[in-house]
Chains A and B, each alone.
Chain A
Amino acid sequence: MDAELLSQVLFAAIKTGTPLLLIALGEVICEKSGVLNLGQEGMMLMGAVVGFLAAYTSGSVGLGVLGAIIIGMFMSLIFAFLVLHLGANQVATGLALTIFGTGLSAFVGSGVVGQTVQGFQPIVIPLLSDIPFIGHILFTHDLLVYLSFALAALVSYVATKTRIGLVIKAVGENPHAANAIGIKVLRVRYCAVMFGGAMAGLSGAYMSLVYTPMWIENMTSGRGWIALALVVFASWRVGRIMLGAYLFGLASIMHLVLQGMGWNISPNLLAMLPYVATVVVMVIISADHFKEKLLAPRSLGKPFDPRQMA
């Protein structure tokens, strides 16, 4: 593989990893606050369809992105109300949200199947893009990819360096203690879940406005699930999510690149690569931490009720 092809492949890995990065950034904050939302796929599909609809009817991709973020938040609000206020089971409610979102997105999108919009165009950043090799890989993307870089930095900063991050962590680790020192646990969790929804919506918009500027039913094809695995893979650390997303992006295009280069292995066996690689890397990482305590937020998936004492 020559340098030219390698740079193209890495460029594509970032593009493929971006929707995973966006949705996982939201999910990690949600999980850090102690809420597990398996409704990612449903929220992402709604983001994709509403983003496309808004862009298609208004002619503005910016409005499309905004619409996607709002619908993602709305979808997560349904989930938040059920699990936070009514104490419904998080796993089952998340799955129900995916079923609901899949149906609803197909319903509202039925009128625009087969339409297309002028999506985001690549923005070549002057000077930076002239850097040999990495210039093309990092600085010839479109706006949403740059936005995902910024968001990753921001989320990482907030989660590790600010009071807000501490509060979220406290709520996810020990909600009763957090409550005792006056933190409004449910309010924090509401915000975290809705941030997750916003990011899922944005990720959906990336699919329908950048990646393939159109709406087709079920177009996210399981990326919400992969993102869920990514968060675990990164052991709830934002910096690692970025790496994980691009690695997964790379692994999932690698088998296509290898086929093009004339590798004659069964395409089905090649397609397993990203998943096998993820497990292997995971084992190496987690074996490292074997002596440490589990890295998952301790109250992940457990309902909290301020009316009950610990």
Chain B
Amino acid sequence: MIRVQARIEQSTLMKITSPILAIVLTLIFGSILFSAIGKDPIQAMQVLLIAPLSDMYNIGEMFVKMGPLLLCAVGLSLCYRANLWNIGAEGQLLMGALGGSAAALAFIDSTSSFALPITLICGIASGMFWAAIPTYLKLKFNSNLILTTIMFNYIALYLLLWAVHGPLRDPQGYGFPESALFSDITTLPILFDEGRIHLGVVFAIIAAVGAWVLLNKSHIGFQIRVFGQDEPAARYAGFNGKKISWIVMLFAGALAGLAGVSEVTGPIGQLIPSVSPGYGYSAIIVAYLGRLHPLGALLSATFMAVLYMGGDLAQIEIGVPTAVVGMFQGVLLFFLLACDFFIRYRVSFISNNSPIQE
């Protein structure tokens, strides 16, 4: 007989072992999947999960991929903690890229050392601005945040397309929809000789740590947590819900904007139509996998970055089509999400003659 009991306290042991269990289950599933399509399962797993960390170049690339995911996820974690359903990180990221690019292009002939900070600030401000509108509509007109942020993602995308086909297009670029390459003065410094790790990655890690401090060590963080867990109690305690909404939304917008401007001034080096392969949406998964905890997001963003890179490597090294990679990633996430069950519940096997509880 199997008996399921809710735990009084969430199990710390299980918090650590549940992801491991999920990965073991995934390995078994993946082995079956890859054998079914005629690939060596051991090799497939190795390429998908280990190869992305196999050499210095790949590790560096993992950090480059992790940066924007982490920046967006940290901001989203705070929003979700405060029960604000912000789906708009993608749009805020695109606006950050757009605003930052406009500044970087204005500085194309500049030699000022302020050029890069101003470019970054423009990106951050654009992201904040894009988060501010839905927030204002919510607080002023009671508009649903899920709807407005999804719509604003699309609007941001078309604004970016308009800019890159129009005013920000490279005049020497044969009419193609790309901006001119930014000058070195507005390019984020590369931290190591090898690879592409840029300052933006550092920003992301600082943001995660900073958000953790904010959430756990400050009065406003305390308010956010209470507000998310028990809104009536928070109101009773006299917390200002509007203020909290503004703070977390603007914070999330700022980080997503920073992610966008870091992409265009970092690894891309110009404004292009496809700045983001959907970082803002993936970051939602990253935020939840990290249990809405800023430092958890650090781990889950790393994990997702590895997963995405593994997907590309699987195509290169063993010729697995993206379709199969997507299936594998989806199932892995299912297992990870399902295994949380064991954190909350104790599952025990009992002999048949003991009393059974409903």
By a beta-carbon cutoff of 8 Å, the part of chain A in contact with chain B is 42, 78, 82, 86-89, 91-93, 95-97, 99-107, 110, 217, 225-226, 228-229, 232-233, 266, 268-269, 271-272, 275-276, 278-279, 282-283, 286-287, 289-290, 294, 296, 305, 307-308
Interface string of B321-349 (1 = CB under 8 A from A): 11111111111011001101100100000
B205 at the A interface (CB under 8 A): no
For B162, list chain A residues within 8 Å (CB). 266, 268-269
Asked, given contacts A95-B285, A279-B137, whether A100 binds B327 with beta carbons under 8 Å apart, the answer is yes
Interface of B is mostly: helix
B151 in contact with A92 (CB, 8 Å): no
Asked, given contacts A96-B334, A272-B159, whether A91 binds B323 with beta carbons under 8 Å apart, the answer is no
For A96, list chain B residues within 8 Å (CB). 285, 330, 333-334, 337
Cβ distance B165 to chain A, nearest Cβ, rounded Å: 6
B141 in contact with A283 (CB, 8 Å): yes
For B329, list chain A residues within 8 Å (CB). 99-100, 103
For B155, list chain A residues within 8 Å (CB). 272, 275-276, 279
Asked, given contacts A95-B284, A232-B144, whether A104 binds B326 with beta carbons under 8 Å apart, the answer is yes
B281 at the A interface (CB under 8 A): yes
Contact of B141 among A93, A110, A290 (CB under 8 A): A290
B166 at the A interface (CB under 8 A): yes
Q: For chain B, residues 146 to 161, give those with C-beta under 8 angstroms from any C-beta of chain A.
A: 146-148, 150-152, 154-155, 158-159, 161
Instruction: A91 to B161: give the CA distance in the assembly, Å.
Output: 29
A89 in contact with B337 (CB, 8 Å): yes
Contact of B326 among A87, A103, A226 (CB under 8 A): A103
Chain A residue at smallest Cβ distance from B141: A287
Which of B4, B150, B325 has its CB near the most chain A CB atoms (within 10 A)?
B150
Chain A residue at smallest Cβ distance from B289: A92
**Could you give 20 example pairs across A and B, Cβ below 8 Å?**
A82-B337, A86-B337, A88-B338, A88-B341, A96-B285, A96-B334, A96-B337, A102-B326, A104-B326, A217-B323, A232-B144, A266-B165, A269-B158, A271-B158, A276-B155, A282-B143, A282-B151, A283-B141, A287-B141, A307-B6
B146 in contact with A100 (CB, 8 Å): no
Asked, given contacts A228-B146, A268-B162, A287-B141, whether A104 binds B284 with beta carbons under 8 Å apart, the answer is no
Chain A residue at smallest Cβ distance from B334: A96
Instruction: A237 to B322: give the CA distance in the assembly, Å.
Output: 39
Cβ distance A200 to chain B, nearest Cβ, rounded Å: 16
Contact of A101 among B284, B325, B330 (CB under 8 A): B330
B330 in contact with A296 (CB, 8 Å): no
B203 at the A interface (CB under 8 A): no
B288 at the A interface (CB under 8 A): yes
In the A-B complex, the 4 residue pairs with the smallest Cβ-Cβ separation, listed nearest first, are A103-B326, A100-B330, A106-B323, A92-B288
Asked, given contacts A100-B327, A275-B151, whether A229 binds B146 with beta carbons under 8 Å apart, the answer is yes
Asked, given contacts A100-B327, A266-B162, whether A110 binds B321 with beta carbons under 8 Å apart, the answer is yes
For A290, list chain B residues within 8 Å (CB). 141-142
Interface string of B215-242 (1 = CB under 8 A from A): 0000000000000000000000000000
Instruction: A7 to B216: give the CA distance in the assembly, Å.
Output: 60
For A233, list chain B residues within 8 Å (CB). 147
For A272, list chain B residues within 8 Å (CB). 154-155, 158-159
Interface of A is mostly: helix
For A217, list chain B residues within 8 Å (CB). 323
For B6, list chain A residues within 8 Å (CB). 305, 307-308
Instruction: A289 to B141: give the CA distance in the assembly, Å.
Output: 9
Extra A-B contacts (5), CB below 8 Å, given A104-B327, A268-B159: A86-B340, A96-B337, A103-B330, A272-B155, A286-B142
Instruction: A300 to B326: give the CA distance in the assembly, Å.
Output: 28
B334 in contact with A228 (CB, 8 Å): no
A87 in contact with B340 (CB, 8 Å): yes
Chain A residue at smallest Cβ distance from B83: A301
B166 in contact with A266 (CB, 8 Å): yes
B147 in contact with A93 (CB, 8 Å): no
For A42, list chain B residues within 8 Å (CB). 330
B147 in contact with A106 (CB, 8 Å): no
For A269, list chain B residues within 8 Å (CB). 158, 162
Chain B residue at smallest Cβ distance from A81: B338
Contact of A278 among B137, B151, B285, B344 (CB under 8 A): B151
Instruction: A227 to B81: give the CA distance in the assembly, Å.
Output: 25
Instruction: A104 to B329: give the CA distance in the assembly, Å.
Output: 11
Cβ distance B223 to chain A, nearest Cβ, rounded Å: 21
Cβ distance A101 to chain B, nearest Cβ, rounded Å: 7
A286 in contact with B338 (CB, 8 Å): no
Chain A residue at smallest Cβ distance from B148: A279
Cβ distance A241 to chain B, nearest Cβ, rounded Å: 13
Cβ distance A216 to chain B, nearest Cβ, rounded Å: 13
For B152, list chain A residues within 8 Å (CB). 275, 279
B326 in contact with A99 (CB, 8 Å): yes
For A91, list chain B residues within 8 Å (CB). 284, 288
For B143, list chain A residues within 8 Å (CB). 279, 282-283, 286-287
Cβ distance B81 to chain A, nearest Cβ, rounded Å: 13
For B281, list chain A residues within 8 Å (CB). 95
For A93, list chain B residues within 8 Å (CB). 333-334, 337
Contact of B338 among A82, A110, A226 (CB under 8 A): A82
Asked, given contacts A87-B344, A99-B333, whether A92 binds B327 with beta carbons under 8 Å apart, the answer is no
Asked, given contacts A110-B323, A282-B147, whether A99 binds B142 with beta carbons under 8 Å apart, the answer is no
Contact of A282 among B5, B144, B324, B341 (CB under 8 A): B144
Asked, given contacts A92-B288, A96-B285, whether A287 binds B158 with beta carbons under 8 Å apart, the answer is no
Contact of B150 among A86, A101, A228 (CB under 8 A): A228
Q: For chain B, residues 164 to 182, give those with C-beta under 8 angstroms from any C-beta of chain A.
A: 165-166
For B137, list chain A residues within 8 Å (CB). 279, 283
B341 in contact with A92 (CB, 8 Å): no
B151 in contact with A107 (CB, 8 Å): no
Instruction: A286 to B337: give the CA distance in the assembly, Å.
Output: 34
